[in-house]
Amino acid sequence: MTEQKMQYLPVQNTSFTSFKLNGFSDLEEWRPILSVPYLLMFLLSTVSNSFLIFLIISQRALHSPMFVLIGLMAFVDLCWPIVFVPNMLLNLLFNWNGISLVGCLIQMFCIHYVGTFQSTLLLWMSLDRFFAICRPLYYHKCMQMSSFLKFIIVPVIRNIILVTTMVSLAGKLHYCLRNEIDHCFCEHMALVQLACGDISINNLVGLLTAFLVPTADFVFIAVSYVIIFASVMKSRQSHSKAVNTCVTHIIVITGSLVFALMAFLSYRIRNNFSPNSRIFISTMYILFSSCFNPIIYGLRTKELREHLLKFIKYLPK
């Protein structure tokens, strides 16, 4: 028993301070080819979201609460891939896969916080449609910028507290099992599972964060849209324009939720996902929404589509 303790203690007290991101490492010579679709998606995300932000800022007619929220969503979708895609491309192309523990924790915080902020924005988009359709007399009072900032501060603080707690607990662990992360970025469970010792609290905080942020937001979003569609069916007035916007939001929410649940559950329940499949799902959770949200909003939102056509029309030939 004494010998076992003597053998265990040096390992327990030794903690890695740098790691290797070994995502898709078993693909070997195919890794540079894999970088091509990721680079194209990154460029599509950067160009489309930047243009959407520019369009909303430059067109005064789009300075209403709904389009401000879409602009904020585009800003989130612009920033999210920047946190990990450039580093991932360098890894795939040149095998530059090193990252320090501090850098890993910073990347983890940015990825998870931006994800929670996206969830909060989707909630506010649903509330915007709720007041526009079900409580039109209170719309300008409740959705003006001062009211918006006053009410959004609570979920923003919630997100900061939960994500900071999750990352701080991960930073206190001793990583003595190995220093190779089977991922392309520092996802919470991908790092935590390398720690020696009990990680049940870390897993619990991760589950609590998932329950109190995206799950809770999704419940409120679902309730608001049920009320919206019930109100539209009962009303004799046409709300086709507002309902069309709701359908756009539902498409975006569904796509984000499917990939988020698959990425989250792949680490917590038994499944037949290979490491490559798990990494692909996690990266698509971010890149899918970042690439296609601006396209979906641009094509399905009438005002954005009209201003886009006007902008193209007046471009110098």
pTM score: 0.84
Per-residue pLDDT at 46: 94
Phi, psi for residue 119 in degrees, rounded to 5:
-60, -40
Judge whether residue 123 has pLDDT over 90: no
For the chain, percent helix, then strand, then coil, each to nearest 5?
A: 80, 5, 20
- Mean pLDDT for 22-29 is 80
Judge whether residue 6 has pLDDT over 50: no
- What number of helices (H) and strands (E) belong to the chain? 13, 3
Per-residue pLDDT at 38: 92
- CATH code: domain 19-313 is 1.20.1070.10
180 exposure class (CB count in 10 Å sphere: 0-12, 13-18, 19+):
middle
Q: Sign of torsion, CA 102 107 275 87?
A: negative
Type of residue at 32: P
Higher-confidence position of 303 and 158? 158
Domain range annotation of the chain: 19-313
- Mean pLDDT for 87-100 is 90
Judge whether residue 3 has pLDDT over 50: no
Locate 226 and state its tokens.
């049920």
Judge whether residue 8 has pLDDT over 60: no
pLDDT in tens, 247-294: 777 777 777 777 777 766 666 666 666 778 788 888 888 888 888 888
pLDDT in tens, 153-177: 888 899 999 999 999 999 999 998 8
Give percent above pLDDT 70 in the chain: 88
Per-residue pLDDT at 146: 72
Residues in CB range of 150: below 8 A, 6 or more apart:
none
Judge whether residue 317 has pLDDT over 70: no
Q: In whole angstroms, how far apart are CA 49 and each of 44, 75, 286, 291?
A: 8, 7, 14, 8
Locate 212 and state its tokens.
């109190």
Average pLDDT of the chain to the nearest whole number: 82
